[in-house]
Amino acid sequence: MTHRYIKVLIMLVSCALFSILLAACSASGRAVVASDHYRIGNGPPSHAPAHGYRAKHTYHYYPNLQVYFDVSERVYFYQEGDRWCVSASLPDHIAIGLGDHVVISMDSEVPYTHLASHKQKYPPGQMKKK
């Protein structure tokens, strides 16, 4: 084998490994099922007593489909059947009909626990900014 052939072979193997890593990164945007233990950012868990200031979280709530977007963490909360999912992107069948949003600030790291009150306060088609 010549020195030039070895260089080309190393370059091809490097490109292949880079492509595999790039594909793995793009596939990591899959949804994760949310649970009661899901935590975003730092700070005490929701069941801990609040000693001092508890961080506010800002969400975009989309009443048309009951979807939340966490502005600081840049993740969506949405329902798939009876489960809540968390993902950096939405499935196409949900993303199409989002419509307008309402900005909501709250102490909770899991906004969907307040869905019933949000559905009542912000019915689809009747936007009230908060």
Residue 79's pLDDT is: 92
Indicate the pTM of the whole model: 0.59
Q: What is the pLDDT of residue 41?
A: 52
> Please, are residues 61 and 111 in contact by the beta-carbon 8 Å criterion?
yes
Q: What is the pLDDT of residue 67?
A: 94
pLDDT for the residue 88:
92
The confidence score (pLDDT) of residue 78 equals 94
User: Which ranges of the chain have pLDDT less than 70?
Assistant: 1, 21-55, 127-130
